[in-house]
A and B are shown apart, each in its own frame.
Chain A
Amino acid sequence: MSISESYFPEEPKAPELKTAIPGPKSNAKLAELASVFDTKAASFVTDYYNSLGNYICDADGNKLLDSYCQISSIALGYNNPVLLKTAHSDEMAVALCNRPALACFPSTDYYEILKEGLLSVAPKGLNRVCTAHTGSDANEMAFKAALMFQANKKRGGKPFTEEELTSVMENQLPGTSDMVILSFEKAFHGRLFGSLSTTRSKAIHKLDIPAFDWPKAPFPALKYPLEKYEAENKAEEEKCLKELEEIIVNYPSKIAAAIIEPVQSEGGDNHASPAFFQGIRAITKKHDVLMIIDEVQTGGGGSGKMWLHQHYDVTPDIMTFSKKMQNAGFFFSEEGLAGDQPFRQFNTWCGDPSKALIAKTIIGEIKNKDLLKNTTETGDYLYSKLFAISEKYDTMLNLRGKGRGFFIAFDLPTPALRNQLLGECKKLGLNIGGCGDQGVRLRPALVFEKKHADLLSEIVEKAFAQL
Chain B
Amino acid sequence: MSYTSKLFPNEPTAPKVVTESIPGPKGKEAIKTLGEVFDNRCTYFVADYEKSTGNYIIDVDGNVLLDAYCQVASIALGYNNPNLIETAKSDKMIRAIVDRPALGNFPGADFETLQKDLLKHAPKGQTQVWNGLSGADANELAFKAVFFNYQSKKRGFNKPFTAEEEETCMLNKAPGNPEIAILSFKRAFHGRLFASGSVTRSKPVHKMDMPSFEWPTAEFPSYEYPLEENEEANKKEDARCLAIVEDRLQNWRCPIAGVIVEPVQSEGGDNHASATFFQGLRDLTLKYGAKLIIDEVQAGCGGTGIMWDHERYNITPPPDLVTFSKKMQSAGYWFHDPEFIPNQPYRQFNTWCGDPKGVIMAAAICDQIKDNNLLEPLKETGLYFYSKLEELQNKYPKLISRLRGKGKACFLAFDMPSGEKRAEFLGKMRLAGINVGGCAEVGVRLRPGLIFEKKHVDIFIAAMEKILPTL
- Give residues in A with beta carbon < 8 Å to B: 29, 32-33, 35-49, 51, 56, 59, 70-71, 73-74, 78-80, 83-84, 87-88, 90, 92-108, 110-111, 114-115, 119, 127-131, 133-137, 140, 143-144, 147-148, 151-152, 160, 164-165, 168-172, 175-180, 190-194, 197, 200, 203-214, 322-323, 326, 338-339, 341-349, 354, 358
State the CA gap A209–B75 with chains docked (Å).
34
User: What CA separation (Å) do A448 and B101 show in the bound complex?
Assistant: 18
Known: A36-B115, A43-B106. A354 touches B214 (CB 8 A): no
**Given A94-B80, A106-B46, also A59-B344 (CB < 8 A):** no
* Set A95, A178, A322, A345: member contacting B39, Cβ < 8 A: A345
A residues in contact with B30, CB < 8 Å: 108, 111
26 A-B residue contacts at CB 8 Å? A36-B119, A36-B129, A46-B107, A80-B98, A90-B50, A96-B93, A98-B49, A98-B52, A99-B74, A104-B42, A107-B47, A119-B37, A129-B37, A130-B38, A134-B351, A175-B208, A176-B210, A177-B209, A177-B211, A179-B209, A192-B194, A193-B140, A203-B169, A206-B172, A208-B147, A211-B172
A88, B108: Cβ atoms under 8 Å? no
* A48 partner residues in chain B, CB cutoff 8 A: 95, 99, 101, 108-109
Pairwise interchain contact B194-A348, C-beta atoms closer than 8 A: no
Task: For B199, give the chain A residue with the smallest CB separation.
Answer: A171
| Complex Cα–Cα for A129 and B40 (A) | 12
Q: Using A176-B212, A213-B172 as known contacts, say yes or no to A348 and B74 having CB atoms under 8 A apart.
A: yes
Q: What is the distance, in angstroms, from B215's C-beta to the closest C-beta of chain A?
A: 7
Q: In the bound complex, do residue A37 and residue B98 qualify as a contact, i.e. CB atoms below 8 Å apart?
A: no
- Supposing A29-B109, A83-B98, A168-B208 touch, asked if A115 and B37 sit within 8 A by C-beta, the answer is yes
Q: Is the C-beta of B176 less than 8 angstroms from some C-beta in chain A? A: yes
> Which of A32, A40, A106 is in CB contact (< 8 Å) with B43?
A106
Number of A-B contacts (CB under 8 A): 369
Would you give the shortest CB distance from A311 to chain B, in whole angstroms? 23
Which 4 A-B pairs give the minimum distances between C-beta atoms? A194-B194, A342-B41, A193-B195, A40-B345
Say yes or no: is B451 at the interface (Cβ < 8 Å to chain A).
Answer: no
**B350 touching A104, Cβ below 8 Å:** no
User: Nearest Cβ distance between residue A36 and chain B, in whole angstroms?
Assistant: 4
Closest to A323 in B: B351
Instruction: Please indicate the chain A residues that have their CB under 8 angstroms from the CB of B349 in the complex.
Output: 41, 191
Where the two chains meet, the residues of B that have a C-beta atom closer than 8 Å to any C-beta of A are 30, 33-34, 36-50, 52, 57, 60, 71-72, 74-75, 79-81, 84-85, 87-89, 91, 93-95, 97-109, 111-112, 115-116, 119, 128-130, 133-137, 140, 143-144, 147-148, 150-152, 161, 165-167, 169-170, 172-173, 176-181, 186, 191-195, 198, 201, 204-215, 217, 325-326, 329, 341-342, 344-352, 357, 361
Q: Are A128 and B45 in contact (CB under 8 A)?
A: no
- Determine whether the beta carbon of A207 is less than 8 Å from that of B211: no
Cβ of B176: which chain A residues have Cβ within 8 Å of it?
Answer: 203, 206-208
Distance A171 CA – B183 CA, assembled complex (angstroms):
12
Indicate if the CB atoms of A206 and B74 lie closer than 8 Å.
no
Task: Say yes or no: A36 contacts B109, CB within 8 Å.
Answer: no
Check if A108 sits within 8 Å of B48, measured CB to CB: yes
Q: Output the nearest chain A residue to B177 by Cβ-Cβ distance.
A: A211
Given A100-B71, A168-B204: A105 and B112 within 8 A (CB)? no
Please state if B97 and A92 are interface contacts (CB–CB under 8 Å): yes
What residues of chain A lie closer than 8 Å to B351, measured between beta carbons?
Answer: 70-71, 73, 134-135, 322-323
The contact of A41 among B39, B105, B180, B212, by CB within 8 Å, is B105
Q: Which residue of B lies closest to A83 (CB)?
A: B98
A207-B166 in contact (CB<8A):
yes
Check B151 against A208 for contact (C-beta < 8 Å): yes
Contact yes or no, B172 A212, CB < 8 A: yes
Alpha-carbon gap, A397 to B184, bound state (A) = 51
For A339, the chain B residues whose CB sits under 8 A away are: 39
A88 x B37 contact (CB < 8 A): no
In the bound assembly, the distance between CA atoms of A105 and B104 in angstroms comes to 34
Which of A119, A152, A160 has a CB less than 8 Å from the CB of B204?
A160
A108 engages B47 (CB within 8 Å):
yes
Q: Of A36, A46, A47, A168, which is within 8 A of B116 by CB?
A: A36
Within 8 Å CB of B137, what residues of A? 133-134, 136-137, 192
Pairwise interchain contact A208-B71, C-beta atoms closer than 8 A: no
A42 touches B169 (CB 8 A): no
Q: A37-B115, A93-B89, A200-B170 are in contact. Are A73 and B100 (CB under 8 A)?
A: yes
Output the residue of B116, B172, B180, B325 with the most chain A CB within 10 A.
B172
Interface-centre pick from A40, A338, A342, A345 (highest chain B CB count, 10 A): A40
CB pair A140–B193 under 8 Å, yes or no, is yes
In whole angstroms, how far apart are the Cα atoms of A200 and B166 in the complex? 12
- On whether the beta carbons of A213 and B173 are closer than 8 Å, the reply is yes
